[in-house]
Amino acid sequence: EIDAETLKSWVIDLSPSGALLRVRNNREPPLVQKLDIDLGPARMQLLARTVWCHDGMMGIRFIGLSDVDRLDIAEQIDRLSA
């Protein structure tokens, strides 16, 4: 078992396949992490793989999402950008 550590981050860019996050510290992120993303009225818990991390920014790719989950993310993005 690995101890969980909360890392506060801000979503800079979001797509149904991943996200660009701004992170507060520059520690080495875990390869796979659980994310809680607040999309207004919707809150999702997702698994993500760290693709890169540099200068307070982190690129992640969502893993294990169904097509329905990806569609839900796309619909929330559309709603928030309207």
Query: Which residue, among 59, 38, 39, has the nearest Cα to 49 in the 3D structure?
Result: 59
Please give the Cα distance from 68 to 25 (Å, whole number).
33
Three-state SS annotation for 8-56: CEEEEEEECCEEEEEECCCCCCCCEEEEEEEECCEEEEEEEEEEEEECC
pLDDT in tens, 41-56: 778 888 999 999 988 8
Please give the Cα distance from 77 to 80 (Å, whole number).
5
| pLDDT at residue 30 greater than cutoff 80 | no
Taking the complete model, does pTM exceed 0.75, yes or no? Answer: yes
